[in-house]
Amino acid sequence: MKPAPFRYHRARDTEGAARLLAELGDDAKVIAGGQSLVAMMNFRLARPRHLVDIGGLRALDHLGTDSTGALRIGALTTHHTVETAPARRLGPGFDVLRAAMGWIGHLPIRTRGTVGGSIAHADATAEWCLLAVALDAELHTHGPRGPRRIPAAEFFFGSYTNALDPDELLTEIVFPRPAPHAALTEFAERRGDFAIVSAVVDLDLAGTEVRGGRVALGGVAPVPVRVPEAEQVLATGGSFADCAAAAAAAVNPPDDANGSADYRRRLIGTLVRRACEEARAR
Amino acid sequence: MTETPIDPAIDPAAERQLLALDVNGTAYEVLCESRRTLVDVLRHDLRLTGTHVGCEHGICGACTVLVDGRPARACLMFAAQAEGARIRTVESLSGDDDGRQLSDLQQAFRDHHGLQCGFCTPGFLMLAEGFLAERPDADRAEIRELVAANLCRCTGYQSIVDAIESCATARRAKEATEATATDETPEAAEATGEER
Ligand SMILES: Cc1cc2nc3c(=O)[nH]c(=O)nc-3n(C[C@H](O)[C@H](O)[C@H](O)COP(=O)(O)OP(=O)(O)OC[C@H]3O[C@@H](n4cnc5c(N)ncnc54)[C@H](O)[C@@H]3O)c2cc1C
Ligand code: FES
Ligand code: FES
């Protein structure tokens, strides 16, 4: 199908984009890479009257580590830029992000789709949303009421809903510390599809000994979730298999066309164990 | 019956905009509605019908073109977003104006039966063209992963993988020969007879 008519506006800077959004009100939407929004507009699932194109805002297209060791990713950085970033911009401490990109759609999607767009879109199984929750990312926004810094744990409200106000822009995604022993893995029926279940494990290792870690899951709730029960197993010296079993037992996954709750629980068991092993091997 | 034109003063969205697009190295000006996607501008306004359109939601890849050298879905971009970018379509591959002189990639598709009905072919060609420019050393596993991006209902993909791989291998061999133009080394000879 063809999208409904709208008026196109090209933003020249972040301030201007935010001002324009405030002025145009509820009828306006931001467009970044368009890899989710244009598809929805073509189906008329979205019919904004105004589009504010932020695609040209170079200031929001950056990637690199700051003096505190945090990784700062501009909202307009594409999945492809992360995937192909040289080590001086994306060091080994953040290899988990680079490796995770291969799971997002396919090359022609990754060349246009942006990190900020993924997080603002807030699909329950989007890799960036899961990574943000698992690795305690902080989301920086800019709106008429000034800038905000929102922890990922408080950002996602439900599928496709989050803490962003309609006239607020996501500007930067900050991963506060390196996660050298972390891995994302997932299962989808076809390569490149959104995952049925996805898992991130971020281990704290002393040599080869596991001292603890973070476990987060996508596709088991309307938002990505941390699983304290599974993290407890890692913190108390339990095996990866026990950690995976604890994760599967702790959550109450949905029953839908993509898989029954029972099937998802089995996937969780397999994927958490696999992610633990990949994280340790890293 | 004639349709009452929508008055832009009442419906601002019905306005048309003048776009300047760079397609295959030619500068075009197009007057169109904002909602026109790049693939529709290419096909309907510029009459470059080599680029196909299938699903209009990013799944099939029939509309794949290069945007600043990188493969992208022309159905998931409004034409207005393409201003300032260099767009390349399948029409740019051939060495001459009537498209008879096939590029090495096109020839490889032909040689390896990488197409049957041909509906998906422009998309696969541009996907591979953009990919090989960035990853000239790609191996078969990477190429298999790449072609998962687009749908082909006819070939079963093996012949498409064969075509892309043979094109990549031939380009590497050519490069190696050129690098050692006068003095043929055993390495270059080996690269020519690259294993699959
Ligand atoms: C075939 C296909 C397969 C895909 N597979 C996957 C997958 O496996 N995993 C995955 O995670 N994604 C997948 N995607 C989606 C893709 O990752 C998109 O890039 C992403 O969801 C949105 O990014 P975008 O830049 O394209 O955003 P857009 O489509 O431009 O925008 C998406 C939404 O976010 C808002 N928005 C965008 N940027 C900002 C900002 N800076 N501030 C405020 N609001 C903003 C927009 O208003 C819109 O509501 C797939 C897409 C396609 C077409
Ligand atoms: S028509 Fe663009 S991907 Fe199918
Ligand atoms: S050749 Fe017919 S769809 Fe690919």
Across A145-164, average pLDDT:
94
What is the rounded average pLDDT of the residues A32-42?
A: 98
Examine the domain organization and report whether A90 and A146 are in the same domain.
yes
Give the per-residue pLDDT at B58: 97
* A118 shares a domain with A16: no
- Write the single-letter amino acid at A166: P
Q: What is the pLDDT of residues A198-254, one digit of tens each?
A: 999 999 999 889 999 999 999 999 999 999 999 999 999 999 999 999 999 999 999
Range of the domain at B135: 100-184
CATH code for position A11: 3.30.43.10
pLDDT at A252: 94
User: Is B189 contained in some domain?
Assistant: no
**Do both B105 and B177 map to the same domain?**
yes
Q: Give the nearest ligand 1 atom to A127 CA.
A: 11
Asked if residue A248 and residue A193 are part of one domain, the reply reads yes
Q: Which two tokens stand for residue B19?
A: 């776009």
Closest CA to A142 of A30, A37, A9: A30
B157 lines ligand 3 (CB under 6 A): no
What's the whole-number average pLDDT of chain A? Answer: 96
Ligand nearest to the CA of B152: 3
Do B79 and B107 lie in a common domain? no
Residue B8 lies in a domain: no
Q: What proportion of chain A, given as a percentage, has pLDDT over 90?
A: 93
Q: Scan for tokens 């029953």, then name that residue.
A: A255
Sequence-distant (≥ 6) Cβ neighbours of residue B9 within 8 angstroms: none
Enumerate chain A positions whose Cβ falls within 8 A of a Cβ in B.
1-8, 10, 31, 34-35, 38-39, 41-43, 49, 51, 53, 55-56, 80, 84, 102, 105-109, 111-112, 190-192
The last residue of a domain, from among A148, A175, A202: A175
Domain that holds residue A194: 182-281
* Number of domains composing chain B: 2
Domain boundary residue among A157, A175, A193? A175
- A209-218 vs A197-206, strand pairing mode: antiparallel
Residues A62 and A161 in one domain: yes
Residues A48-76: what's their mean pLDDT?
96
CB within 8 Å of B17: residues ≥ 6 apart: A8, B31, B32, B33, B34, B80
Q: How far is the CA of A275 from the centre of ligand 3 (A)?
A: 37
Overall domain count for chain A:
3
The predicted model gives A34-47 an average pLDDT of 97
Closest by CA to A103, choosing from A210, A10, A6, A192, is A192
Same domain, A74 and A164: yes
Overall average pLDDT of the A149-157 stretch: 97
Specify if A2 maps to a domain: no
Q: Specify if B192 maps to a domain.
A: no
Q: What's the CA gap between A209 and A275, in Å, rounded? A: 16
Residue A51 pairs with which residues in a beta bridge?
Answer: A8, A29
Residue B193: per-residue pLDDT: 45
Q: Tell whether A1 is covered by a domain.
A: no
Asked if pLDDT for residue B67 goes beyond 90, the answer is yes
Q: What is the pLDDT averaged over residues B113-125?
A: 98
Q: Which of B64, B30, B60 is nearest to B47 (CA)?
A: B30
Q: Which of B92, B122, B148 is the last residue of a domain?
A: B92
Instruction: Summarize pLDDT for A83-141 with one digit per residue, the tens.
Output: 999 999 999 999 999 999 999 999 999 999 999 999 999 998 999 999 999 999 999 99
Q: Examine the fold and report which residue of A108, A142, A175 is the final residue of a domain before the chain moves on.
A: A175
Output Rg (C-alpha) for chain B, integer angstroms: 20
CA distance A29 to chain B (A): 14
Cβ of A38 and B80 within 8 Å? no
pLDDT at B13 (0 to 100): 57
Q: What is the pLDDT of residue A191?
A: 84
B196: in domain: no
Kindly state whether residue A86 falls inside one of the protein's structural domains: yes
B81 and B28 share one domain? yes
For residue B159, pLDDT over 50 is answered with: yes
Q: Enumerate residues lining ligand 2, CB below 6 A.
A: B 53-56, 58-63, 73, 75
Over 90: is that where the pLDDT of B187 sits? Answer: no
Residue B8: pLDDT over 60: no
Q: Where residue A144 falls among pLDDT bands split at 50, 70, 90? A: confident
A91 and A28 fall within a common domain: no
Q: Where does the pLDDT of residue B183 fall: very low under 50, low under 70, confident under 90, or very high at 90 and above?
A: low
Q: What is the pLDDT of residue A195?
A: 95
Q: What is the CATH number of the domain that holds B70?
A: 3.10.20.30
- In ligand 1, which atom is closest to the CA atom of A103? 8
Better-predicted residue by pLDDT, B12 or A79: A79
